[in-house]
A and B are shown apart, each in its own frame.
Chain A
Amino acid sequence: MSNTQEVPYGTLDLLILKTLETMGTLHGYAIARRIEQVSGDSLQLSQGSVYPALIRLQQEGWIETEWGISETNRKVKFYALTKAGRKQLLLEVANWEKATALVGRFLKASR
């Protein structure tokens, strides 16, 4: 759990789900790379930390996996969003927006 403080608490799930929604089926490395790229330099992510998150999302039934062949002709595991995953993403996005709005209002009010 070395670099988690770099990723806002509880948001890695959201980032992964969103990535899969935008990009479709991806393998673990591609997911980690995509998150790094989108966030630019503002996020320090250990690429390995996506895997524990992935197994959890898979057990919840939000993503599904399949072994396949990568663009470099290597056997890799692909991840894709399920129907339940799409619903969950909507929910998490809504939650996130609610939370940030609340915190934003709070900060403005106490200024």
Chain B
Amino acid sequence: MSPRRAVASVLASMNKRRLDRELEDEIRAHLELAERDAVARGLSREEAHREARLSFGGIEGMKEEHRDHRGFRWIETLLRDFRYGLASLLRSPGFTAVVVGVLALGIGGTVAMFSVVDAVLLKPLPFPEPDRIVRVWEAPRPGVVDSTTVPQFLAWKRLATVFDALAAEQPVQAALNDKSGPTRIPGKAVTAEYFKVFATGAKISRTFTSEDDQPGAAPVIIISHAAWQTYFGSDPGILSRRVRLDGEAYQVIGVLQPGAFDRDETQFWKPLVFVPDQVSSEMHWLTVYGRLQADATLNQARERMQAINAALAETAPMEDRDGTIVIESLKRLLVGANLDRSISVAFGAVFLLLLIACANVANLLFAQGATRRTELAIRAALGAGRGRLVAQLLTESFALCVLGGVAGVATAYLLIRLATPFLSQSLPFTADVSLNLRVLAFAATVVLGVVLLAGAFPALQASFGNLTESLKRSARGSSGADVRVRRTIVIGEVALSLVLVCGAFLLARSLLKLQQLDPGVRIDNVISVSADLPIGAYPTPQKAALFYEALMQRLQSAPGVARAGLSTYLPLEWVSNGEGIQVAGAEQQVHVRFKRVDAGYFRTLDIPVLNGRGITARDREGSPKVVVINQALAKQLADVTGMGSPVGKVVRLSSADYENQPLLLDVQIVGIIRSERTASPGEPDPAVVYVPLAQAPNPHIKLLVRTQEGDAAIMPTIRAAVREIDPNLPLGDIATMQQIRDRTLSGVSRPAWLIGAFAFVAVLLAAIGLYGVVSYSVTQQRQELGIRMALGAKPGDVLSHVLRGALAMVAVGLVFGLVGVFALTRVMTNLLFEVSPLDPLAIAIACVSMTLIGLFAGLLPANRAARLDPIATLRDAG
């Protein structure tokens, strides 16, 4: 059959009615014409009529042949069943609404979750040849996590031929002045080959060239497409505009193509120019990305970099000599093991939910099938084959599931729209969560799976029972086998729900443990704001120190403010690393993290001084240089040097000055504070050294204010205080410490909330299923219950009889569910914090709540049974 004809046939199958009518017309015309000719030949009207029909041949046979020739029979049958199915669904709108609702929940959740899986795990990164993009860094050693020194980077660039491009980046912040006042926008300082690594071109003009990052180059920036739209109103003349960042004029030399970088928080890129001091500095502060040569594999690149590293080792400083180089593909880094696991567990959970939804729909279809017994029996008696009946029932389920699927995709769309703002923080910026073709294909597969799972068994069940028998028993009849199957389904539902509920309780317990975790700081009523002093307006550290002093004076006397402090890093958040402390006489440096704080910091956060003193207002420029260290560092120093108490000792500290140039300082340790939490929950506290901000000012600062009343109403006061000193300084990242704490915990809390929501829906569905089965079996047992009551059973007896039946189902379900819990929750080990995946409390709570839900679902029908009037029941049955 030619493709053209196949298409025509499909179309013809869909236009059956019209084509049949046309054929009728043609036949009638044909016979009339033939009759006329015959009459003209002299035959009588009657003879002519007979002859015309005779020479035409069998009309019905021809019509059949006509249909066979022009279309596909099975399509016509299918369409007829589909129409019939839709019609019968419309006849029972309540039933249809419930089934479609349940399916929309199940399918919608699964499809939405799959679109996340698709965006994060399946889609390639949104860059050309993304497999070639890698990150290069030195293997983690104590104190050095993942950054690289400038000399290392330059050496790699000179020696490593395995890369087509190699670039370093460093995050920066800048104040952009537009109509609504100053705004802080995040950017990156990058070396010239940065966009070559990501193979991203410019929509307007160009990206960086090798001249742009040379010392003395003109100040230029490239902006993202999103920034171009947001801040510059898509101005086509952007290239001729001078943009003021931190008060300095920059020439925009290009606007990036729209794409992945628009989802990143970075709004602009400026060239990273190394000054001579940095080129020789041993500070680890660069993040390095590379694009492998087209034919190079990751392993080749690793081998070659190892060789280069060995060659460089002789000139490297002592503590960098035993380091190795790590090269990892960008995709692997963006999708860490933890995210991978969270997504997999959430997808597993939503899949369980889909199974439960299927079970519920199957259950409803069973009930529906039971009431249609008689209709099916009559059809069978009239000669419909068993296969034909199954096909018809399956088509009806299909119609139902297609409705459910459409509703599900709509639900998924809504879910994605609602969840994107929350999700985007936890997902890598390369992930574009959307309903694409692959997701829709997945949705179609799910719908087909649901049809087979939820529709096939009821269809077989309804048509395989002895149909003539059920015709005899007429409407009353539902066999025992029917009830058994439905019970099995409910038991399965209870089991699956238990797994979900257990998982949810485990995550909830873990979340609770995290909330109770002592952060080492008092965070109630503390609000934080960040500011970045532009180098143009604050060219010297002295100017910055004056600003800080003036700000603190104003804030401490402002109404509503209890205490205020400054720090270069927020409490509970990551602190940059790469600095070291050299103790006189010791061979190796102790790697430390480095935080500049003012005199108010420890008091604002109630961090106790354990030994010596904290930082005071007297620690300022000109006074002896001092530092305070945390407990973890004190212990490490004691281990390395064997000295008793480090308080009072003088050490040499390598750090960076106001303009991020390396600096060596001899400082005296004057105190030890209790460690505040700066690492992820569950990891040991890193060694931190606290330097007085006044002795080593830095333009990037976080302001912490403890309020007397405890709400964000203090913001106008803070803004006013800042404006009085510097009206052009923008404030950003306003957040309460509670929010910051939640943010650091969000990697753990989001999956918990998600699975909690799934578990809630699952429990709801299981309850509906249980209710349906119990109430159905009560209806079935009316007669039996009536006789019992007539023989003296009290309503209480009937009540407990029915409830026992319901609880028996729940109990069996729980047993199977526990098996599932033992098997499945093990995959959650890594998501749990200080909670065993077999936590007895969580399992017990889950079992008890499922039992309560079983009781609740059974209570309504049981109560109805207890109120039966035995006489009426018996009369009905007779």
Contact = CB atoms under 8 A, between A and B. Distances in A.
Interface of A: 1-3, 27-29, 32-33, 46-49, 51-53, 55-56, 59-61, 70, 72, 74-77
Given A70-B33, A76-B29, A47 B56 contact: yes
A2 B57 CA distance: 8
Interface size class of B (residues with CB under 8 A): 20 to 34
A51 B66 contact: yes
B9 interface: yes
A52 B8 contact: no
Interface SS, B side: helix
B572 interface: no
Contacts of A3: 57
Q: Which one of A3, A49, A55, A77 has the greatest number of beta carbons of chain B within 10 Å?
A: A55
A33 B56 CA distance: 11
Contacts of B70: 52, 55-56, 59
Contacts of A2: 57-58, 61
A1 B69 CA distance: 12
A47 B57 contact: yes
Contacts of B66: 51-52, 55
A49 B12 contact: no
Contacts of A1: 61, 65
Contact of A49 (B22, B62, B68): B62
Interface string B41-77: 0000000000000011111011001101110000000
Nearest to A47: B56
Contact of B29 (A53, A60, A74): A74
Contact of B26 (A28, A53, A56, A72): A28
Contacts of B9: 59
B30 interface: yes
Given A29-B33, A56-B70, A60-B5, A77 B65 contact: no
Interface of B: 2, 4-5, 8-9, 12, 22-23, 25-27, 29-30, 32-34, 36-37, 55-59, 61-62, 65-66, 68-70
A27 B57 contact: no
**Which of A3, A53, A70, A76 has the most B CB atoms < 10 Å from its CB?**
A76
B4 A59 contact: yes
Given A2-B61, A46-B57, A59-B4, A51 B26 contact: yes
B61 A47 contact: no
A46 to B, nearest CB: 3
A27 B29 CA distance: 10
Given A52-B65, A52-B66, A70-B33, A77 B26 contact: yes
A80 to B, nearest CB: 15
Nearest to B70: A55
A92 to B, nearest CB: 14
B69 A55 contact: yes
Contact of B58 (A48, A56, A72): A48
Contacts of A74: 29, 32-33
A51 B30 CA distance: 11
Contacts of A32: 30
Contacts of B8: 59
Contacts of A53: 69
Nearest to B11: A59
Contacts of B27: 48, 51
B7 to A, nearest CB: 9
Contacts of B33: 27, 29, 70, 72, 74, 76
Given A59-B4, A59-B9, A60-B4, A47 B55 contact: yes
28 contacts: A2-B57, A28-B30, A29-B33, A32-B30, A33-B37, A46-B62, A47-B34, A48-B30, A48-B57, A48-B59, A48-B62, A49-B57, A49-B65, A51-B23, A51-B27, A51-B62, A52-B68, A52-B69, A59-B4, A59-B12, A59-B70, A60-B5, A72-B33, A75-B25, A76-B29, A76-B33, A77-B25, A77-B26
A111 to B, nearest CB: 38
A77 B19 CA distance: 12
B353 to A, nearest CB: 47
B34 to A, nearest CB: 6
B15 to A, nearest CB: 12
A48 B52 CA distance: 10
A51 to B, nearest CB: 6
B157 to A, nearest CB: 66
A77 B22 contact: yes
Nearest to A32: B30
Contacts of A28: 26, 29-30
